[in-house]
């Protein structure tokens, strides 16, 4: 079964089929899907993380630790040592467990640990045993003494230099920190000995030391007897000397310093005097100066900072007097200079350690905590998304991931545009040729494109300079000869389908006590045990630049969900029902996994989860009591392939076993409770905000308790007498629906609750009383709106069925409206209680007889019931055009021509300063420009301005042609042509730019356009 429609302003990532208007048919005809508006576009700076991003508790340390060291060994394990104990442990990332190793020869704290090129670990620091340095051998799991420091020290730094030696600086001679040290020593692993080197310019402890790309060492901040320090100095290994450099903007100690990929050093937090410890600074080795960067969200000291594989910096934990011990984590983006909030750790901690693992994740262990001080947890930056900009039909997002264990998608950091269908294509920033190509691709289907901003910027630069940038040269391929001849776009490339399978058993058991319509309880029970396979088909979008094809992004063509399994489901309802309502409750949303890969150079991340939901759809006209239970068990196979315009489904259900109980209750009116549970497989592109599609199975137990006695059900025959109606029954049915739901950029969401349905199947029926012969049900609709509209007014009328219509829940109504002036229209798809808003403007005044007819419903019932009303249209003048519809459009800039004749260049320039006045009666203006150079080269430019349908936006388009003759400027020898266009919003501006080059032998003639179109309201 195929359901399709092309959505308008912004396409969804994935669209499903439409609502099955008649659940009693196995394959009903399609109708419109229900539309549910979603939230507005996200604020700039909004951070979204995938379900795989965050913290996972791992094995426990053998003892509480603080002021310890953690070192990643060459085999990927992590050695933890010190922390007021001689105990040392090893963490195995493969198993997530800790195991003891040989005890250290001393109880180190405030010490350092340095991985040597040999694979051994050098630990340095003072202690009560007098062993200030020792070596750990991972091969044997044992420790050995090495040469002692000349000056035992706490709270110092140790750093491996490029020559293989270890530089130790500063610290304190006592654990209390009262005697700061200014000395520095060098350890030679070859001899196991220490030698003194030049002393620091200033003694300090709790400082940082960072090895710079040029081999020098930056020491910054810390404290001494006088307090906290802002000073910084550089160590030159070749001379063994220290040189002062510019001071930090903030004096600080117990801070962090991290070498970034760009060679700068990021300093964060720390203990400070009279300033917020949220301040962060950057040191530039090229200038030797400090500059401020974005502040942390949380003040902290004794925290950790870890450089991730994608160049971001992860900061965790810490302490501040105002906040205490912290769980907060945040991520620094060097490109934007800002911090993004991340999921918090499971345990608060400071004076802990953070170690980058070989797979790109970060192990955090120990520290002082209000919780479990033996705990450790692992951070995974699988996917982090930040909103950088928004526009009409598009968003600019930064997407990044730091894990390194996926061979198809290594650590990444990219800025991408999410471009939704025709509107997004028209408004998103992109080269003109690419815009034209995407518009053609979207002409007959709904689309969402992901475009890489860096590539688009590089294309723009390449167009300006006339040659490919080095980056584009690295990813471009030569355009085919036929493409060069035809000046065609580069064809897209279908990538190999990506597929993944998950086995799962998920329970549908839940209980909810309700109010606001049902004072009682609903229960669901059972489980879905299934195997689900997700297949994603992606096209790599390529565009032509000069004689090359460049990958610019990708287009997710379709997603297929194929699930097979066993479904057991039961439901019960018990309580007092008083009003119509509906409930949906999330049971859980377990994460299944993800599919991640590269489409050319562009990262693709598709997450997959399993939303489990329970709900009750309740419709009632009166108050009454009801109680019943039903169960069913069956095998289900559901498969749907979804494109941007619809889903093709292949689903089936084996013959179930069912059971039900007698109903308890009585009613005058109608009560229709439907209890359901749903298990869906949801695939989302990047994040659920960007776009998602889900296909699920939803079993229902439908109850229908109906009874009526009375005269107030309407006057069907027009005799002013309302007929007497009485009757009652209870009907219990089951059905299973395959559902679909899609969302794009959170602009809107569409949901199909019955992409496929078994239709209602009988469980239990009981006739509670016999209805009165001749009773009837009203089918005449209502038409609510003004009885005295003005001539030319676009007047709204609400059309719906009467409230006592008995087939309220399952059917769509087909209407015919006659406006009494010769105009009429037909429409369908609105349910009885859904108001259809229709508008009409009468061109002539006077009395009008308008009518609305309920022709039929989607269940096959024919009504042909008509409601008429008299409308008195009063006379008035045709309304004036609103002032904002009068637009003053300025076109400013220049047009340049060059005639290159054997090295003798001649130029001409047209300075443009024109204005057009547009309004609904004069919506178009055209300007023509022509210029000749040396009687050989002629340029022709036409600029067309058009007021769009909203009467405030102006579409601008410039077309240029370059001609060349031998001695006559009137030649029609066309050498090249191109165009540029763009929509100019109200009170906005837009550039019109292009360049036409004509290269012959050693000369190049050109026509260059650089205009700005400004759209403002006309002033009186």
Same domain, 738 and 809: no
Which residues of 116-216 form beta strands (DSSP E)? 121-124, 133-137, 142-145, 157-160, 166-169, 184-188, 193-197, 208-211
Distance CA(341)–CA(333), nearest Å, equals 11
Same domain, 760 and 850: no
Distance CA(368)–CA(301), nearest Å, equals 12
Same domain, 662 and 748: yes
Tokens at 722, concatenated = 């309302």
Question: What is the structure's pLDDT at 32?
Answer: 30
Question: What is the structure's pLDDT at 18?
Answer: 28
Is residue 928 a part of any domain in this protein?
A: yes
Same domain, 667 and 725: yes
Confidence of residue 830 (pLDDT cuts 50, 70, 90): low
Ranges 44-48, 258-262, 269-273, 894-898, most confident: 258-262
Tokens at 842, concatenated = 């009468």
Same domain, 835 and 760: no
Same domain, 961 and 987: yes
Can you give the C-alpha Rg of the chain in angstroms? 37
Range in 455-459, 470-474, 593-597, 779-783 the model is least confident about? 779-783
Same domain, 854 and 813: yes
Say whether pLDDT at 7 is over 60: no
Confidence of residue 13 (pLDDT cuts 50, 70, 90): very low
Say whether pLDDT at 323 is over 70: yes
Q: What integer is the mean pLDDT of 465-489?
A: 79
Question: What is the structure's pLDDT at 2?
Answer: 34
Q: Which residues, at least 6 apart from 588, have a Cβ–Cβ distance to it below 8 Å?
A: 506, 612
Confidence of residue 884 (pLDDT cuts 50, 70, 90): confident
pLDDT in tens, 259-291: 999 999 999 999 988 777 899 999 999 999 999
Q: What integer is the mean pLDDT of 486-490?
A: 63
CB 813 within 8 A of CB 880: no
Is the C-alpha dihedral spanning 423, 425, 431, 432 positive or negative?
negative
Residue scoring higher pLDDT (146 or 751): 146
Q: What integer is the mean pLDDT of 74-79?
A: 97
Question: What is the structure's pLDDT at 15?
Answer: 28
Residue owning tokens 């309220």: 808
Ranges 198-202, 557-561, 934-938, most confident: 198-202
Q: For a pLDDT cut of 90, what percent of the chain falls above it?
A: 48
3 state DSSP class of 433: helix
Least Cα distance to 783 among 847, 857, 849 occurs for 849
DSSP state of 180: B
Same domain, 968 and 893: yes
- For 863-875, letters b (16+ CB in 10 Å) and e give bebebebebebee
Is residue 52 a part of any domain in this protein?
A: no
Q: Kindly report the CA angle at 297 between 296 and 298, in degrees rounded to 5? A: 90
CB 149 within 8 A of CB 124: yes
CB 924 within 8 A of CB 946: yes
Q: Which helix H or strand E contains 630, and what residues bound it?
A: strand 624-642
CB 200 within 8 A of CB 184: yes
Q: What integer is the mean pLDDT of 502-520?
A: 73
Cβ contacts of 633-636, under 8 Å, gap ≥ 24? 633/526, 633/566, 633/567, 633/568, 633/569, 633/657, 633/658, 634/566, 634/567, 634/736, 635/565, 635/566, 635/567, 636/528, 636/530, 636/563, 636/564, 636/565, 636/566, 636/567, 636/697, 636/736
Distance CA(924)–CA(946), nearest Å, equals 5
Distance CA(381)–CA(306), nearest Å, equals 12
Is residue 44 a part of any domain in this protein?
A: no
Residue owning tokens 């810490």: 318
Boundary (domain end) residue, out of 822, 841, 873: 873
Q: For a pLDDT cut of 70, what percent of the chain falls above it?
A: 82
Confidence of residue 897 (pLDDT cuts 50, 70, 90): very high
CB 115 within 8 A of CB 160: yes
Strand 548-577, strand 602-609: pairing: unpaired
Question: What is the structure's pLDDT at 128?
Answer: 81
Least Cα distance to 221 among 289, 161, 279, 271 occurs for 271
Tokens at 27, concatenated = 């394959």
Q: Which helix H or strand E contains 438, and what residues bound it?
A: helix 432-441
Cα dihedral 577, 582, 586, 587, rounded to 10, equals 30
Distance CA(626)–CA(619), nearest Å, equals 13
Residue owning tokens 């001849």: 485
- Distances from the Cα of 223 to the Cαs of 124, 202, 203, 516, in angstroms? 20, 10, 8, 63
Distance CA(322)–CA(317), nearest Å, equals 14
Is residue 119 a part of any domain in this protein?
A: no
Q: How many domains does the chain have?
A: 3
Is residue 692 a part of any domain in this protein?
A: yes
Is residue 667 a part of any domain in this protein?
A: yes
Residue owning tokens 């699988």: 382
Is residue 290 a part of any domain in this protein?
A: no
Q: Kindly report the CA angle at 164 between 159 and 165, in degrees rounded to 5? A: 55
Phi, psi of 455 (to 5 degrees): -65, -40
Boundary (domain end) residue, out of 848, 873, 898: 873
Say whether pLDDT at 729 is over 90: no
Least Cα distance to 232 among 249, 248, 253, 251 occurs for 248
Phi, psi of 129 (to 5 degrees): -85, -10
Could you tell me the residue range of the domain that residue 810 belongs to? 781-873
3 state DSSP class of 455: helix
**Cβ-based burial of 851 (10 A; exposed 0-12, middle 13-18, buried ≥19):** middle
Least Cα distance to 560 among 602, 506, 610, 501 occurs for 501
Question: What is the structure's pLDDT at 422?
Answer: 85
Q: Which residues, at least 6 apart from 20, have a Cβ–Cβ distance to it below 8 Å?
A: 28, 737, 754, 755, 756, 757
Cα dihedral 41, 45, 51, 57, rounded to 10, equals -160
Same domain, 955 and 998: yes
Say whether pLDDT at 765 is over 80: no
Question: What is the structure's pLDDT at 215?
Answer: 96
Say whether pLDDT at 497 is over 60: yes
Say whether pLDDT at 109 is over 50: yes
Same domain, 723 and 859: no
Distance CA(792)–CA(880), nearest Å, equals 11
**Cβ-based burial of 141 (10 A; exposed 0-12, middle 13-18, buried ≥19):** middle
Per the prediction, the chain carries an average pLDDT of 83
3 state DSSP class of 459: helix
Question: What is the structure's pLDDT at 704?
Answer: 65
Boundary (domain end) residue, out of 745, 767, 789: 767
* CATH code of the domain covering residue 800: 2.60.40.10
Range in 64-68, 817-821, 969-973, 1013-1017 the model is least confident about? 969-973
Q: What integer is the mean pLDDT of 819-847?
A: 82
Say whether pLDDT at 141 is over 60: yes
3 state DSSP class of 474: helix
Q: What integer is the mean pLDDT of 697-719?
A: 59
Confidence of residue 730 (pLDDT cuts 50, 70, 90): low
Same domain, 857 and 963: no
- For 336-372, letters b (16+ CB in 10 Å) and e give eebbbebebbbbbbbbbbbbbbbbbbbbbbbbbbeeb
Say whether pLDDT at 990 is over 90: yes
Distance CA(927)–CA(921), nearest Å, equals 18
Is residue 965 a part of any domain in this protein?
A: yes
3 state DSSP class of 851: strand
Least Cα distance to 164 among 139, 187, 136, 196 occurs for 187
Range in 430-434, 740-744, 785-789 the model is least confident about? 740-744
Residue scoring higher pLDDT (743 or 663): 743
Say whether pLDDT at 728 is over 60: no
CB 992 within 8 A of CB 960: no
Residue scoring higher pLDDT (582 or 88): 88
Question: What is the structure's pLDDT at 456?
Answer: 96
CB 142 within 8 A of CB 120: no
Say whether pLDDT at 618 is over 90: no
Distance CA(58)–CA(376), nearest Å, equals 6
Residue scoring higher pLDDT (587 or 726): 587
663: number of Cβ within 10 Å: 24
Residue scoring higher pLDDT (582 or 814): 814
CB 279 within 8 A of CB 295: yes
Confidence of residue 432 (pLDDT cuts 50, 70, 90): very high
Q: What integer is the mean pLDDT of 715-725?
A: 44
Residue 978 zone, left/alpha/beta (φ > 0; ψ -120 to 50; rest): beta
Question: What is the structure's pLDDT at 694?
Answer: 78
The length of the chain, given as a count of residues: 1020
Same domain, 822 and 742: no
């Amino acid at each position: 079964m195929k359901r399709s429609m092309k959505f308008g302003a912004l396409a969804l990532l994935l669209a499903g089929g439409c609502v099955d208007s008649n659940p009693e048919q196995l394959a009903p005809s399609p109708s419109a899907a229900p539309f549910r508006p979603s939230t507005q576009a996200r604020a700039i700076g909004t951070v979204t993380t995938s379900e795989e991003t965050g913290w996972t508790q791992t094995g426990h340390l053998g003892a509480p630790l603080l002021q310890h060291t953690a070192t990643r060994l060459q085999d990927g394990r992590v050695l933890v040592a010190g922390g007021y104990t001689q105990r040392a442990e090893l963490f195995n990332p493969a198993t997530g467990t800790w195991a003891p190793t040989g005890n250290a020869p001393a109880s180190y704290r405030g010490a350092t640990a340095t991985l040597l090129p040999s694979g051994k670990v050098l630990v340095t620091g003072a202690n009560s045993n007098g062993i200030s340095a020792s070596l750990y051998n991972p091969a044997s799991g044992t420790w050995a003494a090495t040469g002692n420091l000349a000056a035992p020290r706490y709270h110092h730094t140790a750093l491996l230099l490029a020559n293989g030696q270890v530089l130790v600086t500063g610290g304190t001679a006592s654990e209390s920190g009262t005697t700061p040290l200014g000395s520095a020593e060098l350890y030679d692993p070859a001899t196991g000995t220490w030698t003194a080197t030049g002393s620091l310019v200033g003694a300090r402890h709790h400082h940082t030391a960072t090895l710079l790309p040029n081999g020098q060492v930056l020491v910054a901040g810390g404290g001494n007897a006088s307090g906290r320090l802002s000073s910084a100095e550089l160590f030159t290994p070749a001379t063994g000397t220290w040189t002062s450099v510019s001071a930090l903007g903030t004096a600080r100690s117990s801070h962090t310093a991290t070498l970034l990929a760009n060679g700068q050093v990021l300093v964060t937090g720390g203990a400070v005097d009279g300033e917020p410890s949220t301040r962060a600074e950057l040191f530039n080795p090229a200038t030797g100066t400090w500059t401020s960067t974005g502040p942390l969200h949380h003040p902290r000291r004794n925290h950790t900072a870890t450089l991730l594989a994608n160049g971001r910096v992860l900061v965790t934990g810490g302490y501040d007097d105002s906040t205490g011990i912290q769980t907060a984590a945040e991520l620094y983006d060097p490109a934007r200079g800002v911090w993004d909030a991340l999921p918090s750790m499971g345990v608060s901690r400071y004076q802990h350690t953070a170690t980058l693992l070989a797979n790109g994740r970060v192990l955090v262990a120990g520290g002082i905590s209000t919780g479990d001080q033996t705990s450790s947890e692992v951070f995974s930056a699988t996917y982090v998304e930040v909103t950088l900009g928004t526009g009409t039909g598009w968003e600019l997002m930064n997407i990044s991931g730091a894990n390194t264990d996926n061979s198809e998608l290594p650590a990444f950091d990219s800025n991408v545009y999410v471009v939704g269908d025709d509107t997004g294509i028209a408004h998103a920033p992109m080269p003109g040729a690419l815009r034209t190509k995407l518009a053609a691709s979207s002409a007959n289907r709904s689309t969402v494109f992901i475009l890489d901003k860096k590539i688009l910027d590089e294309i723009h630069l390449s167009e300006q300079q006339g040659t490919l940038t080095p980056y584009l040269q690295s990813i471009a391929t030569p355009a085919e000869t036929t493409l060069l001849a035809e000046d065609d776009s580069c064809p897209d490339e279908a990538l190999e389908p990506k597929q993944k399978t998950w086995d799962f058993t998920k329970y549908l058991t839940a209980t909810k006590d309700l109010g606001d319509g049902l004072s009682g309880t609903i229960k669901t029970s059972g489980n879905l045990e299934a195997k689900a396979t997700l297949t994603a088909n992606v096209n790599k979008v390529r565009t032509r630049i000069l004689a090359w094809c460049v990958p610019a992004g990708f287009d997710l063509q379709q997603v297929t969900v194929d699930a097979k399994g066993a479904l057991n489901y039961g439901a019960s309802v018990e309580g007092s029902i008083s009003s119509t309502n509906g409930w949906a409750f999330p049971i859980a949303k377990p994460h299944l996994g993800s599919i991640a890969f590269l489409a050319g150079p562009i990262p693709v991340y598709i997450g997959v989860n399993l939303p489990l939901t329970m709900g009750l759809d309740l419709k009632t006209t009166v108050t009454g009591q009801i109680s019943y239970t039903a169960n069913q068990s069956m095998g289900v196979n559901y498969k749907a392939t979804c494109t941007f315009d619809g889903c093709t489904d292949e689903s089936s259900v084996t013959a179930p076993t069912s059971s039900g109980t007698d109903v308890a209750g009585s009613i005058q009116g109608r009560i229709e409770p439907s209890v359901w549970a749903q298990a869906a497989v949801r695939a989302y592109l990047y994040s659920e905000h960007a776009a998602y599609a889900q296909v699920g199975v939803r079993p229902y137990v439908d109850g229908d308790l109906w009874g009526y006695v009375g005269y107030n059900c309407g006057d069907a025959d027009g005799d002013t007498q309302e007929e007497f109606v009485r009757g009652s029954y209870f009907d219990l049915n089951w059905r299973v629906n395959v559902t679909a739901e899609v969302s794009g950029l959170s602009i809107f969401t569409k949901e199909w609750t019955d992409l496929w349905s078994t239709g209602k199947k009988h469980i239990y029926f009981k006739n509670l009383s016999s209805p009165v012969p001749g009773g009837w049900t009203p089918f005449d609709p209502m038409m609510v709106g003004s009885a005295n509209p003005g001539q030319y007014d676009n007047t709204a009328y609400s059309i719906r069925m009467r409230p006592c219509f008995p087939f309220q829940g399952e059917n769509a109504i087909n209407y015919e409206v006659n406006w009494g002036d010769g105009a009429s229209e037909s429409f369908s798809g609105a349910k009885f209680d859904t108001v259809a808003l229709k508008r009409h403007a009468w061109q002539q005044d006077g009395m009008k007889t308008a009518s609305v007819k309920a022709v039929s419903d989607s269940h096959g019932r024919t009504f042909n019931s008509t409601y008429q009303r008299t409308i008195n249209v009063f006379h008035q003048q045709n309304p004036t055009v609103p002032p904002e519809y009068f637009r003053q459009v300025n076109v400013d800039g220049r047009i340049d021509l060059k005639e290159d004749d054997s090295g003798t260049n001649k130029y001409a320039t047209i300075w443009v300063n024109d204005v057009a006045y547009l309004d609904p009666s004069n919506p178009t203006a055209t300007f023509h420009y022509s210029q000749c150079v040396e009687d050989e080269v002629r340029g022709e430019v036409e600029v067309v301005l058009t007021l769009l349908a909203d009467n405030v936006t102006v579409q601008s388009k410039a077309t240029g042609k370059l001609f060349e003759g031998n001695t006559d400027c009137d030649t029609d020898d066309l050498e090249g042509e191109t165009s540029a266009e763009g929509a100019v919003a109200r009170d906005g501006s837009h550039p019109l730019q292009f360049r036409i080059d004509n290269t012959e032998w050693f000369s190049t003639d050109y026509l260059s356009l650089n205009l700005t179109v400004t759209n403002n309201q006309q002033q009186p």
